[in-house]
Amino acid sequence: MIIPCIDLMDGKVVQLVQGREKALEGAAPLEMLERFSGFPVIQVIDLDAALGKGENNAIVELLASRARIRAGGGVRTPERAQALIACGAEKVIVGTSAFTKAAVNHELLGSIASAVGAEKILVALDSKGGRIVVKGWTESLDISAEEILAELESYCGGYLCTYVDKEGMLQGTDLDWFRRLRSATSKEITAAGGITTIEEIRELLALDIHAALGMAIYTGRLDLAELRRINQSLNRGAALGHTTGD
């Protein structure tokens, strides 16, 4: 599945490079949602909430009322996760708070899983230089995504894995890293960070990994109509496989 991304900052849709420098602003949130019509799921990240600099709850709720979304940013308590699910989000993304300084935050993840159900949680594994990074990618932990996957399995339905080294740079992603992640878990994986070409997307999809796209579609590097066709062909293939299986 191909998943367009809407990142929110100061009430606007933005794209950042390396999570820090604002590279561009998109159209208004509802206009972007309209442009992404035809895609089954949209990823919505509240960057202000993630950075502890405010929130865009009203916009997240509005988008969730109009489309199937997975929402993240500032999910630090069970109450925040419940609020996102209550406003219509299908899944919540838990990032920084999933970890302590060098380990899994079992207590918090357990409480969030109890509150909303583990199947509705995606744990964000953001990697830079081979290490998990947190707090808006400003702090590095002494653990890798590959090392920690098994320990997280009982708390989530899948993972949002971002290759931060190339995030927003339109220079391609690290397919080998995603292959290693795929071999380490049978749970859902969504890839993000640097995905730039149709060939990369097809390779990820062949690995049964979703592709979350930001900069490449906002700059026009990738064509939305072509991405819709790829998604539709995946849906037809899945339906055919289901019918055959019956």
Q: What sign for the dihedral angle of Cα 97, 121, 162, 150?
A: positive
Q: Are 103 and 143 in contact (CB under 8 A)?
A: yes
Q: Is 48 a catalytic residue?
A: no
- Asked whether the beta carbons of 40 and 68 are under 8 A apart, the reply is yes
Whether 223 is catalytic is: no
Which residues neighbour 244 within 8 Å (Cβ) at sequence distance 6 or greater? none
Q: DSSP letters of 181-206?
A: HHHH-SSEEEEESS---HHHHHHHHH
Task: Quickly tell me which residue has 């590959």 as its tokens.
Answer: 146
- Measuring CA to CA, how many Å separate 131 from each of 104, 143, 174, 187? 14, 6, 14, 21
Of 7, 46, 48, 165, the active-site residue reads 7
The catalytic residue among 46, 48, 126, 165 is 126
* Catalytic site positions: 7, 126
